């Protein structure tokens, strides 16, 4: 009989916690998981899934607009936002149920409430103290907003996914994943969207051609991008209008902007406050991210951390993979460090972005000489619609051994296409392998295997 209540206690039933709990329980461990909100976490309830459903819903606007070019007569379409939100929420309820069932079928005990570490091997939950041989902290992250006057008038992605009605004018502050994704979906639904970014272009850290192309394509679709502009204060007028005070990058203040709703997408911080980390001696960094080694071990033996709370790479498939690596090490004797080098990712902006491997600048820094193949073109679909939408594809090839080290795409189907390319890069594909691959015609994707002309160095 074990001296512990459980072999493994997990704090947080999001992507990382649920995956770790199920894998550990099916390996024979006695597992409990605590959740203070709803099982499923950010991805299922406040992130990837609801966001993608709204993005899918918003795409119909362009489809209706384009249909006459293909012979259709479309009566003026009308859109009902509350109906979409209700449908989305029904799906989230269904998924929540599935996640709960997956846990109970695997034999995981689900405990409701906010858990707090009470020392190595001990967890507080309400008035109870529970003991466990091992603990995993998988508490995720939460939106962070700057401390400016009137910030209480702003919403975050959490509320944006459940707005009671569509605003007429929406200001979005930030230039990362969430900012461009929400800008795209609300713009497509007819909201006047203005994006305020601190830098010149959105998506800092992405390949420069991706950033430029996306900014141009977003602008063509009607999104106003106010770059190098900060919001210094927000005020609500008597008629409910929000007034944003703006400061240019050069420091000149005094301009104002009016909107009906302001969404802050200025990043997320790890959920690590008030959960007993300091008291237990679990080290965190300056942002509050739990420090872990390559095996997700924290500074305290027996306590591990996974997912967004470690701020390694805030993506669901990464959280899932970290969980698998950890559980295989703990319960199957196969410790494995997670490999972050070729993690593909997509931004569900309009048009979408998808990428795997290094951008051009990062590849030059890492590998020295690289060959660049890049193309912009209009897809067959838009030859009839006349829509001026450019698809961009870019290959970054390491010059010495011709290995493809980066694929970057801006275009409607980019996320679906780049997933397959990630397999090729993981397998170590060279430019010759791409060239030897037969295309599928007529597709957008076939361009990946017909890129022949290197970009001349002089154009850099
Ligand atoms: C708007 C948005 C869109 C996104 N879109 C994508 C996407 O398209 N693709 C993608 O890969 N990633 C996306 N992400 C990121 C992805 O959602 C996260 O990387 C992922 O959910 C992280 O999982 P996690 O398990 O680390 O944390 P979470 O899923 O946040 O789970 C943590 C859980 O812990 C619970 N919790 C916290 N503290 C306690 C406590 N003390 N006691 C009990 N429970 C606690 C929380 O309630 C939560 O349920 C998106 C994120 C957002 C916000
Ligand atoms: N499709 C996806 O995979 C997806 C979608 C959404 C979120 N995510 C994950 O969630 C994370 C969080 O998303 P996010 O978009 O909130 O964060 P982010 O880190 O991607 O972007 C935050 C942006 O806000 C800007 N910013 C920060 N402080 C600011 C301020 N005071 N004023 C103006 N701008 C400011 C930053 O410069 C940056 O452009 C992402 O990094 C990503 O890992 C992934």
For the cut 90, the answer to whether the pLDDT of residue 255 exceeds it is no
171 and 136 within one domain: no
Cβ of residue 52 lying under 6 Å from some atom of ligand 2: no
Predicted pLDDT at 1: 64
User: Rounded to 5, what percent of the chain is helix, strand, coil?
Assistant: 35, 25, 40
User: Ligand 1: does its nearest atom lie under 6 Å from the Cβ of 21?
Assistant: no
Q: Whose CA is nearest to atom 35 of ligand 1?
A: 12
| 257 and 277 assigned to the same domain | no
User: What is the C-alpha separation between 196 and 173, in angstroms, rounded?
Assistant: 5
Q: How far apart are CA 215 and CA 217, in angstroms?
A: 6
Among residues of the chain, what percentage have pLDDT more than 90? 97
Q: Work out the angle at residue 180's Cα, subtended by the Cα atoms of residues 86 and 385, and round it to the nearest 5 degrees.
A: 85
User: Would 459 be classed as within a structural domain?
Assistant: no
Q: Do 273 and 137 share a structural domain? A: yes
280 and 325 fall within a common domain: yes
Closest by CA to 121, choosing from 230, 30, 7, is 7
Any domain includes 454: no
Is residue 275 domain-shared with residue 244, that is, in the same domain?
no
- What are 260's two structure tokens? 């009906």
- How far apart are alpha carbons 78 and 341 in whole angstroms? 45
**Residue 163 sits in the same domain as residue 262:** yes
CB distance 323 to ligand 1 below 6 Å: no
Q: Indicate the residue among 266, 297, 317 that finishes a domain.
A: 266
Strands 242-248 and 229-236: antiparallel
At 385, phi and psi to the nearest 5? Answer: -75, -25
> What is the rounded distance in angstroms from the CA atom of residue 141 to the CA atom of residue 148?
21
What does the alpha-carbon distance between residue 214 and residue 350 come to, in Å, rounded to a whole number? 8
Q: Please tell me whether residues 280 and 134 are part of one structural domain.
A: yes
pLDDT category at 249 given cuts 50, 70, 90 is confident
The confidence band for 457, taking pLDDT boundaries of 50, 70 and 90, is: confident
- What per-residue confidence (pLDDT) applies to 248? 83
What ipTM was estimated for this complex?
A: 0.98
Sheet architecture: strand order including 224-226: 224-226, 192-196, 169-173, 261-264
Q: Active-site positions?
A: 441
CATH number, residue 401? 3.30.390.30
Instruction: List, for residues 279-310, the tens digit of each pLDDT value.
Output: 999 999 999 999 999 999 999 999 999 999 99
Q: Using a pLDDT cut of 70, give the percent of the chain over it.
A: 98
Instruction: Phi first, then psi: give them for residue 133, nearest 5 degrees.
Output: -65, -40
The verdict on whether omega for the bond into residue 440 sits within 30 degrees of 0, i.e. cis, is no
Helix (H, G, I), strand (E, B) or coil at 183: helix
What pLDDT does residue 346 have?
98
Whether 125 and 42 share a structural domain: yes
Does a structural domain hold residue 457?
Answer: no
Dist CA 200 CA 219 (whole Å):
14
Residue 227 domain-assigned?
A: yes
Residue 228 belongs to some domain of the structure: yes
Ligand 2: atom nearest CA of 345 is 3
Residue 200's CATH number:
3.50.50.60
CA dist., res. 11 & res. 20, Å (int): 11
As a whole number of angstroms, the distance between CA 88 and CA 54 comes to 8
The residue to which tokens 């301009």 are assigned: 255
Structural domain harbouring 219: 151-266
pLDDT per residue as tens digits for the range 265-276: 999 999 999 999
Q: Are residues 258 and 402 in the same domain?
A: no
Residue with CA at minimum distance from ligand 2 atom 10: 314
Q: Which two tokens stand for residue 176?
A: 């990362």
What is the per-residue pLDDT across 20-38, written as a single tens digit (0 to 9) for each? 999 999 999 999 999 999 9
Q: Are residues 293 and 432 in the same domain?
A: no
Q: Of 233, 266, 299, which residue constitutes the final position of a domain?
A: 266
Tokens linked to 453: 């002309």
Q: Is 139 in the pocket of ligand 1 (CB under 6 A)?
A: yes
- Does any domain span residue 325? yes
Whether 136 and 243 map to the same domain: the answer is no
Note the pLDDT of residue 72.
Answer: 98
Give yes or no for a contact between 198 and 228, defined as CB atoms under 8 angstroms apart. Answer: yes
Determine whether the annotation assigns residue 21 to a binding site. Answer: no
Of 214, 245, 266, which closes a domain?
A: 266
Identify the bridge partners of residue 193 per DSSP, sorted by sequence position. 170
C-alpha triplet 314, 222, 190: angle, nearest 5°: 85
Domain count, the chain: 3
Instruction: Quick: pLDDT tens for 169-225.
Output: 999 999 999 999 999 999 999 999 999 999 999 999 999 999 999 999 999 999 999
Task: Clarify whether residues 259 and 274 are in a common domain.
Answer: no
Give pLDDT tens digits for 313-344. Answer: 999 999 999 999 999 999 999 999 999 999 99
pLDDT confidence band for 253 (50 / 70 / 90): low
User: What's the pLDDT at 74?
Assistant: 95
- Position 2 scores a pLDDT of 83
The answer to whether residue 341 sits within a structural domain is no
d(CA 453, CA 318): 34
Cβ(108)–Cβ(22) below 8 Å:
yes
Report helix angle 81-105 to 15-26, nearest 10: 30
Q: Ligand 1 within 6 A of 157 CB?
A: yes
Average pLDDT, the chain: 96
| Cα–ligand 2 centroid distance for 88 (angstroms) | 23
- 88-118 pLDDT, tens digit per residue, is 999 999 999 999 999 999 999 999 999 999 9
- In this structure, is residue 342 part of a structural domain? no
Residues 337 and 295: beta-carbon distance below 8 Å:
yes
Best residue for ligand 1 mutational test, from 42, 99, 176 (most atoms within 8 Å of Cβ): 42
DSSP letter assigned to residue 44? I
Give residue-wise pLDDT tens across range 336-383: 999 999 999 999 999 999 999 999 999 999 999 999 999 999 999 999
């Amino acid at each position: 009989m074990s001296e512990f209540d459980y072999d493994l206690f997990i704090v947080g039933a999001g992507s990382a916690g649920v995956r770790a709990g199920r894998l550990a329980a099916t390996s024979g461990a006695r597992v409990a998981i605590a959740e203070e909100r709803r099982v499923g976490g950010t991805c299922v309830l406040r992130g990837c899934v609801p966001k993608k459903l709204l993005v899918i819903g918003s795409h119909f606007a362009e489809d209706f607009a384009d249909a006459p070019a293909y012979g259709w007569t479309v009566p003026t379409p009308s859109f009902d936002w509350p109906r979409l939100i209700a449908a989305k929420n029904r799906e989230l309820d269904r998924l929540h149920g599935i996640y709960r069932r997956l846990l109970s079928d695997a034999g995981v005990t689900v405990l409701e409430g906010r858990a707090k570490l009470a020392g190595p091997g001990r967890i507080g939950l309400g008035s109870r103290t529970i003991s466990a041989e091992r603990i995993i902290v998988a508490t995720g992250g939460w939106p962070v907003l700057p401390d400016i006057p009137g910030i209480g008038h702003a919403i975050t992605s959490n509320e944006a996914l459940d707005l009671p009605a569509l605003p007429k004018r929406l200001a979005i502050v930030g230039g990362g994943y969430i900012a461009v994704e929400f800008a795209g979906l609300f713009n497509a639904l007819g909201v006047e969207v203005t994006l305020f970014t601190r830098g010149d272009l959105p998506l800092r850290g992405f390949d420069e051609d991706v950033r430029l192309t996306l900014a141009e394509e977003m602008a063509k679709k009607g999104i106003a991008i106010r770059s190098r502009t900060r919001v210094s204060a927000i005020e609500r007028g008597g008629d409910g209008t929000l007034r944003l005070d703006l400061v240019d990058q050069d420091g000149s203040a005094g301009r104002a902007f009016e909107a009906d709703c302001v969404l802050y997408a200025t990043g997320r911080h790890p959920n690590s406050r008030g959960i007993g980390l300091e008291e237990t001696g679990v080290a965190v960094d300056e942002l509050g991210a739990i420090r872990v080694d390559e095996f997700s071990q924290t500074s305290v033996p027996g306590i591990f951390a996974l997912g967004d709370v470690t701020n390694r790479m805030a993506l669901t498939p990464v959280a899932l993979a970290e969980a698998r690596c950890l559980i295989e090490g703990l319960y199957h004797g196969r410790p494995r460090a997670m490999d972050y080098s070729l993690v593909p990712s997509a931004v569900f902006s309009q048009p979408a972005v998808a990428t795997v491997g290094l951008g051009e600048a990062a590849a030059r820094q890492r590998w020295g000489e690289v060959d660049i193949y890049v193309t912009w073109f209009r897809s067959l679909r838009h030859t009839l619609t006349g829509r001026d939408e450019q698809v961009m594809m870019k290959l970054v090839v390491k010059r010495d051994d011709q290995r493809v080290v980066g694929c970057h795409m801006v275009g409607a189907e980019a996320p679906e296409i780049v997933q397959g390319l990630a397999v090729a890069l993981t397998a170590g594909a060279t430019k010759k392998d791409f060239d030897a691959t037969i295309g599928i015609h007529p597709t957008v994707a076939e361009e990946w295997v017909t890129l022949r002309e290197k970009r001349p160095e002089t154009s850099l």
